[in-house]
Structure 1
């Protein structure tokens, strides 16, 4: 039994609630698919928690942006967020050794992981910025499905669901958050810290080798909203979207 999380986006309250839910399920193996940082107010704490709790994490586009330059990844508002996050991790308010440990962790994140006939990426196993949306064409999906052998888990779009081998997308909420895997599938695990499917609850996946289960977890998003709105460099929109799951 494994738990797979993604797109935390520096939302500490959501991450804490998800880890508590995972603990209650008795699951010890946790994988993270990236975007630990970005948009939210607690990048340091979220990096530290993922570092200590997850077997591995993958580099998302926000990790790549903060490490190698964000010009090709983000628009103007997102660039401001990246700069704020970088400054927060570099801040002299904190111990230099701790800062260096956070940077070293980010620098060592792999782009993809393949393990036990499972593939793990952020956008896809080709690129952390590839958006595999529910409206992707069959031509696009054919190329994506050729990238992995059996099951691929990704995040990035923040929209939980599954593409089956007939290239049909099934929203997690439309299939009661449960799917039995028979054939080749591409699974989006949803977002812990910034859901965008109209449901403000944090989202992650449990996989037992046969069934994929999307878990929705209630957390104190109003606390996160207040933190965001107290930081000048973080747009208030980033707070309000949490309330509406957008």
Structure 2
């Protein structure tokens, strides 16, 4: 099975559409969305409607912290995130709010675990930013591969039979063999707000037959999204972040 894993769409219609068009060319059998469908971006209605459509066609969707904040404001968010969420809420329909607030925290396909933030405490929205911060996720579950988002920076971490964790290099666009003598945690980047210095939308493809994971980047019409952000009066820092990918 080939699984396309998308996360942190953040109401970026142009990025979401570009990634889905790329996914269509890769003959995947399953789509998984790791949450944060809304927040930050200018098109929450469209992105939520598209996610609902995908879910209706069999995609698996988990909840992100911005999705949860639609129905229950999160005071721990930074001021920019809170401003964007305050702008987002009145633009969503009751059905969209119900969809986002009712999403599960995790999904599994065989020995693959899908979660927005971390496996050890999904509802605490912990950032997995290093090999050491991945260790709690490896400890609480026996899944062979854990897929998460939340950080917006692609990362691949392995855990060997002696529970030693190490970060692995990521060759963008080229498959990485996930050798079975180790367990793995993959932070798949972000569709709608990359933060690794590359402004292209990011996602990943897992091939369970070949046991390979590919981290993908897709260019999209950043200028259109930036213009929408500014027209909506959303914080200028969000526009600048999309332009730089940082």
The TM-score, its normalising length taken from structure 2, stands at 0.89
Do the aligned partners of 1:177 and 1:213 also contact (CA within 8 Å) in 2? yes
Do the aligned partners of 2:152 and 2:195 also contact (CA within 8 Å) in 1? yes
Q: Within 5 Å, which residues of 2 pair with 1:181-192?
A: 181-182=178-179, 183-192=182-191
Moved more, 204-213 or 123-132: 123-132
- Deviation per CA, 1:110-129: give whole Å up to 9, x if none: 01112211111011122251
Residue-pair matches, total:
231
Please name the residue that 2:8 is paired with.
Answer: 7
Alpha-carbon distance in 1 for matches of 2:24, 2:65:
28
Q: Which runs of 5+ in 2 are unaligned?
A: none
Select 2:80's aligned residue among 64, 67, 77.
Answer: 77
Shift of 1:13: 0.1
Please name the residue that 2:175 is paired with.
Answer: 178
Please name the residue that 1:235 is paired with.
Answer: 235
Alpha-carbon distance in 2 for matches of 1:142, 1:6:
21
Alpha-carbon distance in 2 for matches of 1:61, 1:19:
22
Do the aligned partners of 2:173 and 2:216 also contact (CA within 8 Å) in 1? no
SS of alignment partner, residue 212 of structure 1: strand
Alpha-carbon distance in 2 for matches of 1:76, 1:16:
28
Alpha-carbon distance in 1 for matches of 2:235, 2:169:
29
Shift of 1:29: 1.4
SS of alignment partner, residue 140 of structure 2: coil
The TM-score, its normalising length taken from structure 1, stands at 0.89
Please name the residue that 2:206 is paired with.
Answer: 207
Runs of 4+ in 1 over 6 A off after TM superposition: none
Q: Which runs of 5+ in 1 are unaligned?
A: 90-98
Please name the residue that 1:131 is paired with.
Answer: 127
